Structure 1
Amino acid sequence: MQQHDETRLKIPKPLGVVAFLSLFLLGMVGYGMTGQAGTLAGKGVAVITLHEVADGIKNPAVVAPADLEAMVVAARKAGYNFISLQEFHAYMEGKGQVPPRAVLLTFDDGYRGVYLKGHPVLVAHKCPAVMFPVTKWYSPYPRPEMSLPHLTAEDTLTMLNSGLWGFGGHTHDGHRFLPAGSQGRRVYFTTGQAWLAGEFRYETREEYLARVWADIQLMSLELRRLGIEPVDFAAPYGQMNEDLERLLLEAGYRYLYVEGYRLNYPGQHLIYRVDGGTTADQFLNALSIAFRNRGS
């Protein structure tokens, strides 16, 4: 019995010679323009991923408030410029500029520590950021899985009203694995066909698509309820396949965030992100790698 498990990232094909020369010539023209540091496409934006902010927790996904502050200060001292989600959208649509060494700071999952401990740091330093919450976790009912406290609707409103935060989605109930047969094999909720033990078979492709589509609709509904336009989606675990990509685009999402150590340029809908680590040194190293691998 064959299991379909597509969890690959969609990587752009290499540029042909004509396309490469075209981009090179456009970049040279933009470089010579008075008052501009190159063309819009020539700058690129690094997108950085963090998760929780809390004191006293040793975990690769948890940043101490003091370390978050050190990240922001060190990045600016090194010449990086944090931009807002609105500025990022305008740039990606070819409607606005970004400063050199532009950085979009993002947080996944929607942990409340980001609001309680991280938000004050970002406000103090006037540093914009983006949150990608798992929307099911807004429910007031106890969660069956082990978890850290999640943002409330009130927290989200406060963050939005600060003018520093943008929001997207991180699935409704899809930040998890599903069983995929014997020996404990699992697949990502969003990219794999699950094993239906009660029926002794795998999901059909149609069942998989219907399940993921329903989750996307619930996520969009919750985001709209919070006053958020659902156009940004961060793929859990950075995983994307062609089916998930197509469903999200059909649902109106325009920016799909995946893993990838490279910069982002106008016209893309797959947005590559770099893990920011937990210290200022790791944060700067991640930025350095992204800007070396420009990927234009």
Structure 2
Amino acid sequence: MSPLYRLIALLLILIPNAALAASATVIGYHRFDGHRSSMSMPMAEFEAHLKYLKESANVMSMDEFAGYVERKERFPPRTVLITIDDGWSSVMDAFALLKKYDLPFTLFLPMAYMANPAARHNLTREDIERLKSWPKVTFADHSFSHSPRLQVGKHKNHETYLEFLRQDLAASRQRFFEIFGYYPKYYAYPYGHTNGSFSALLTENGYELMFTTDYRPFDGDVDPKAIPRLGGHRVTAARLKEIVEGN
């Protein structure tokens, strides 16, 4: 065997995952009711996203994604994770398309508003039961109140902030268990920001992955307690293709 072939064989042994991509794109959507919010997107554009992802990307479920993170494995090329925040009623329109394209996705839910008759623009008990009947949905935590007070700068001192965090998390976990029968493992920070105290409290309560905003590709250099997400409403399908295929 020539020295060149020996070198190639050695490299294949040392870096068996060289053909795999190191990073993944995590997308965060919110609303699908057009004009009601700057974070909403037209259904036609959302379907264009899904059509591209179905045909050209490797869309993982949250548990599959978490497995790669836990094992510290490189992601396959064009890996994408789809998430949707806030539990607005327009999620059901998105759900119809996600089922059409047979794609897994995660819902980050602010639990005070779920299956709550007073929250008329959020998911109803009937909506949640329909979602639960489809195996490719992962339900996850997005706080109880989604209050601005979950941000550290909204309190006079750190102790009052920590107490609010503890109360909100306890209420969210209790409500989540009441609706789903188990405790959540994944959390998206309301308003997209975190700090050491917030992430430490979540870790103490068994959360495995936590998500922010402020997009960059997720790879081995990114803290699993602060995984950034691409705002889906901010990009066209063509731009999404560039981002996914550029990772």
- What TM bracket, shorter-length normalisation? 0.7 to 0.9
| Equivalent AA in structure 2 for residue 209 of structure 1 | L
CA contact (8 A) 2:52 2:241 kept: no
Alignment match, 2:3: none
Counterpart of 2:206 in 1: which secondary structure? coil
More strand by share: 1
Q: What is the TM-score with the length of structure 1 in the denominator?
A: 0.70
The one of 89, 96, 108 equivalent to 1:120 is: 96
CA contact (8 A) 1:107 1:131 kept: yes
Counterpart of 2:227 in 1: which secondary structure? strand
The one of 173, 178, 193 equivalent to 1:225 is: 178
Counterparts in 2 of 1:190 and 1:216: CA distance versus 1, 3 Å: farther
Counterparts in 2 of 1:193 and 1:65: CA distance versus 1, 3 Å: closer
Q: Hey, what's the Cα distance between the residues in 2 that align with 1:254 and 1:83?
A: 16
The one of 106, 110, 120 equivalent to 2:83 is: 106
The one of 135, 139, 144 equivalent to 2:111 is: 135
1:238 CA displacement:
0.8
Deviations 1:23-68 (A, max 9, x none): xx89961246xxxx33xxx4322100110123x5264311222221
Alignment match, 1:52: 31
Backbone CA RMSD of aligned residues:
2.8
Counterpart of 1:268 in 2: which secondary structure? coil
Alignment match, 2:64: 87
Alignment match, 2:15: 29
Alignment match, 1:235: 189
Deviations 1:199-255 (A, max 9, x none): xxx3x3222101111101111111122224311110112111111111111121111
Q: Percent identity?
A: 25
Q: Hey, what's the Cα distance between the residues in 2 that align with 1:53 and 1:28?
A: 46
Number of residue equivalences? 234
Counterpart of 1:208 in 2: which secondary structure? helix
| Equivalent AA in structure 1 for residue 176 of structure 2 | L
CA contact (8 A) 2:80 2:244 kept: no
Gapped regions of structure 1 (runs ≥ 5)? 1-24, 179-188, 195-201
Counterpart of 2:166 in 1: which secondary structure? helix
Counterparts in 2 of 1:158 and 1:139: CA distance versus 1, 3 Å: closer
Gapped regions of structure 2 (runs ≥ 5)? 1-10
1:135 CA displacement:
0.5
CA contact (8 A) 2:192 2:212 kept: yes
Counterparts in 2 of 1:233 and 1:142: CA distance versus 1, 3 Å: same
